Structure formats: structure tokens, C-alpha cells
Amino acid sequence: MKAAIFLVLILVAVASGRETGLRHFKGYKVFTTLATTKEQLDALRVLYLGSDYDFWTSPNGLGATDIMAAPEQIPELLKMFGEHGMEYTVKFEDVETLVEAERVANAKASTGRIDWTSYQTYDSIVEFLTTINSNIAAVSVIGQTTEGRDIHVVKFSNGGPPKKSILFDSNIHAREWIAGATGTWVINEILTNADSYTAILQEVDIYVIPMINADGYEYSRTNDRMWRKTRSVNAGSSCMGCDPNRNFDFQWAGESTSSDPCSDIYYGSAPFSEPETQAIDRFVREAEAAGVQFYAYITMHSYANLWLIPWGYTAGAYPPDFPALLSLGQAAVAALQAVSGTVYQAGQGADILYGAGGTSYDWAKNHGIKYTATIEMRGNSFVLPPEQIIPNALEVWAALQVVIQRVIETVPVEEDPTPVETVTSCGGEIEASSAAINFQLDADIPAGQSCIWIVKPTFDNTRARLVSSGLIGGSGIYFTEFNAYAGTPGQHVQIANVGEDYTFNGNFFLVTLTVAVGANTGFSLEWYSSGLAGGAPSFSGFAALSTPTGSYSYPVGGGQYANSENALFIVNPEVAGTRTLAFTRLDVENDATCSYDAVSVLTWQNNEYTQLAKFCGTSLPTPFNLPTGLALVTFRSDSSVTGTGFTFTWA
């Protein structure tokens, strides 16, 4: 009986992630494996969604993934690599050596006070925060952790009513020590060099939450250096904690999450089940109720040298103002790299890594905050030597200052009093704050004619109004929001009533005219944009193809297409009539659902754009019938395997 009880106790300790004593990593190895096929990637994802292995980086497309394995797990992991033909290298021969080296370096550098030459305890961080005495800084408590530790926020402001506001937070994941160290460094930088930031604080208020997951952080210091989650108790399980960055109430329980409390990516019993995530949500909502308007939210993590922007919950999904988010990310990364040459990549989170539901930066964007991002900071592991705290902080602060400046420059704009551009042609590209389409005013339009105008408003709210129209029943003008990065149509409205206002959100639209048989004359359509700058999308490939028949190849000039491309080709022959669109060449990364790289064909049917097919690989699709001769061909690629593209004809 005693032996049985002892065995149960051992199993409970193992299942709960070594809840007692100091976890040692002697013989633990970190493997970097390279997935070069979809089958290999799928095998890694199955392993990732389990709770057996500690993935230091998630399976991120066809690329490298870091996996830590205990000595007893290594034979099975290597067997899996061999069965799937996966190449690998040993990144760290012994994790215990890595952790011990950090422990020694941290102890040697510690001066007994917080000075960013070593990683500090939660108590030391609290002492630093609660002794702040500055006329530009106010420290408050926004909540408590499961174990009763205070969660602090520092507000920097020169006083007066709320200004445009920015929120930075860090250490949502326990083992990412560099995140909290960077958060406190930012606080100290503003305090000690306040004169340098006087102009900034005249324009914005800055909030910093330096330590969110304090329970997990302390546990990672005293018990398990690789602890990631919170320290909440899970009913019915001996495993503790939840991944707080899977616990936010947006796309909760989605991709890269687990219902297993023993998993490092356990999403919790419900959205905002954790007091730590509740505190952030409550703080934002209460601040907004008091008049604060957050324009930016940046959350600091490690490691991967990435600047991730929404949407991160799945690949191929982009908010309407994605171009503005991407341009900010690219500018921030450029500023960061200029400090010490550290190379970062900016892009949509799931395109670069892998979809993850319930993340804080997606939640913040969905909540209505304009600019949101996750920074995965420098390093090749979670164990970043303490001597890199300040160099990392300096370069990250350079990037954050770009965010601050962008927020300062982001000013809501009113509509123009009158259109600033006028277009009279059948189709064209209009990039402006406002415009008028005056087509064939008081002149006949032949039956069967179709025109497409590409509208790129400067600001993210658009109001369209039909000023006059000589179109008869069966003819129509349609306003279609088009996601240029996903290659899919969104909001679609017929502009039918003269004098009525139609409102849209986005920065890329197709205005489509179709003309039925009868006595049709022209129309005047005006549109005005206002609000915040959204940024027009940029295409890796674009063409408006209007010849009666023709052929088009992409990439133009041959060769391989690149990673992270998005292309749009509009087929709209100037001579009306049915057409057949046929692909004569196809070489696009293949997978069963075409979720990585894909070509789509949309045609105009029943007065809207309808997707006829989405395809990839090398097998040619059946030719497509185009009842009106009008079609959209879209293409997007992810960040992995490429091909030589495609050729299509219309006749």
C-alpha cells in the first residue's frame, strides 16, 4: 500500500510540472528541426498541441522549430524526426548548463538593487515601482494575481485631461525574463531622462505594466526556470496554470491552444478566467470610461526577433487597416535595427509564425485600439544573459519611440468639403481623401458595359453618395470592400438611391458598374473619407487587363515568386461579352486546403463577386466561364516554399 501511495505521489508531481522543489534540466536538450514539407509540419503541430514536449518556438510554417526534450523523451523525438525525414541539429546540449550559467551571471552582476545588469525578483521590482517620486509619473495597482501579488501600472503624463494614450506591457509569459526587465528599463528611462521626453508627454500619455504574470515569474525563479503559465488552480487537475496569452476574449480556444490543463498552451476554463488577464481588460475599460483613448498597445515577449501584427489568430486574415499596421511595424523594426544591427522581421502574426487564439494583441485590436503588436525580442532562447538587458532595451525603446511618434501623428481628420479629384473614365485607380466619379453624364452607356474603379481612401471611414444617376432598372453601381492581403471581398452594397449616404470602413474598395439593356445614361458618385489614416495596400503584383482577349503570366519576367506576396489582376475586357478564363501553367506551393499559397478566381455573378475556385499545386483547374467577361484573379503566398507562379488566358 505504501509503495502504491508513493507511486501516485510521484505521478502527481510529474503531471503537475514538477510542482515541488527546484526543477533541474540535466540532460535536457533543445533540438532545432526543419520542416520542409506540409507532412512534416503537420507532424510537428500534432506534437505541439500535445503536452509532452516544451516547444520553445511554435511550428512556424515550413521553417525551423526549437523543441526541448527530457532525457527519456529524446529517443522518441529522434524516432519521429527519422520517420518523417526531418533534419535537425542540437541547439543546446544541456539546458542545465544554460540555466546554471544564467544563474551564476545573474548573481555575479547583482548589486542588490535594480540597475538592469541582472534580473530582479518581483519584490525588488515592486520596491522600485513604489518608491517612484516624480511629477510626471503615477503608480497604481490594477489587480492582484492568483497568489495575491499586486499588478502595477505606471502612468506618464504632464497632467491635464487625458491625451492620446499608449499602453506597453510585459512578462505575460513567466519565463520570458527579458520582457519584464525591458518594461522596467523603459520606466526608468523616462524617469531619469524626463527632459528628453517633455515634448512627447505634451502630446500623449504613456502607460507601462512591467510585470503581469508575477506568480509565474517568481515560480520560474525559484522552482522551474521554463515555467510559462500563471499559477492558478485548475479544477479536476493536478496541473496548475493557464497560458495567459491564450486567455483573452477574442478567438479564444482557437488555433495553437489546448483544452488540456497540463499543456503550456492551455487556454483556461473560460475567456478571462485568470485574474491577470482580467486586470488588463478591466484597466483598459475603466480608463476608457474615464475618457482615455488608447491608440496603441504593444506587448513584449521573447524570443524570435519578430514584430507581429494582427490578425494573429489564423493565417491569411487581415484587419482593414493592415497597411498602416505593417508600415508602422516596418518603420519600428528599421529603427530597432539601426541601434545595434539586430535583424527583425515584421508581419502578420500567423503568416510569420502560426495562428494563435486568445492573444492580447488581437484582443486589443478587436477592442478598437488602432495600433497593436507583439514584440518577440532578441535571443536564441528564453535564457538571455543579463549583460544583454540594456542592449536589448535600447533597441526596443528605439522601436517604441517610433510607435509613440506615429500615435502623435495620427490625428482624426474631417471630410473634405468637396471632392479633391474627379474621374470621368470607365475604370481607373483613385487614391485620395475624396473623389467624384462623373461617368458619361447626360450621355448614353451601351448595354453590357462594365467598369471597375479601384478606390483607395486616405482615411479609414468612407461615406459614399450618389449625386445623380441615369441608370435604369437592372443596371447598378456597387461598392465592395476588398481585403487586398487575403484576396477576398468583404462588405458589398449597391449604391442605388440618389442623396442617400452609404458608410464603409476600410482602405481598399472596388466600385463596379454593370449596365443592363435599355436607355442608360451616366451618373455622378462622390465619396469622402475621414477618421484615422489607414494606408493604401501595396501589391506585389497588379494589373487591369482590358483587351478583348489576352494572356498574363506572374511573376512578370519569370523566375520564382517571393514569400508574403499578394497580387490582384482584374480582367475586364473593353468589349462586353462572355469569356472563358483558362490557366495554362501553374506552379504554386501545394497542400490539401491551399492554406499556404493560393490562387483564387472570382467572377461577377448575381451582382456580386463570387469565388469560383481556390487552388494550388501544379494541376491545372478546369477553365472558368465568365458570364459578363469580368473576373478577379488573386494570389497570396506565405513565408515558406515558393514556385514559378502561373499563366492564364481569357478569350
- Helices 177-192, 214-222: axis angle to 10 degrees equals 120
* C-alpha cell belonging to residue 197: 521626453
Contact 575, 630 (CB under 8 A): no
CA 161 – CA 140 distance, rounded (Å): 18
Helix ranges (H only) for 569-641 are: none
Residues 187 and 169: their CA atoms lie apart, in Å, by 11
* SS3 state of residue 634: strand
DSSP state string for 161-220: S--EEEEEEE-SSTT-HHHHHHHHHHHHHHHHTGGGGHHHHTTEEEEEE--S-HHHHHHH
Q: Are the C-beta atoms of residues 205 and 165 closer than 8 Å to each other?
A: yes
Query: Are 460 and 540 within 8 A, CB to CB?
Result: no
- Specify the DSSP element, H or E, that contains 330: helix 322-340
DSSP string computed for 17-70: TS-SS----TT-EEEEEE--SHHHHHHHHHHHHSSSSEESS---SSSEEEEEE-
Written as nine digits, the cell of 345 is 522581421
Q: Residue 567 corresponds to which amino acid?
A: A
Total residue count of the chain as it appears in this document: 651
How far are the Cα atoms of 240, 260, 286 from residue 15, in angstroms, in the given order? Answer: 10, 11, 39
Is residue 333 within 8 A of residue 345, CB to CB? The reply is yes
Question: What distance in Å separates the CA atoms of residue 183 and residue 114, rounded to the nearest whole number?
Answer: 12
3-class DSSP state of 554: strand
CB within 8 Å of 529: residues ≥ 6 apart:
415, 433, 434, 457, 458, 459, 460, 461, 462, 463
- Active-site residue (options: 102, 218, 376, 565): 376
Round to whole Å and give the CA distance between 49 and 525.
52
Q: Given the DSSP bridges, would you call strands 509-514 and 450-457 parallel, antiparallel or unpaired?
A: antiparallel
376 is catalytic: yes
The identity of residue 343, as a single letter, is V
Can you tell me the distance from the alpha carbon of 152 to that of 156, in angstroms, rounded to the nearest whole number?
13
- Report, as residue numbers or ranges, the catalytic residues: 376
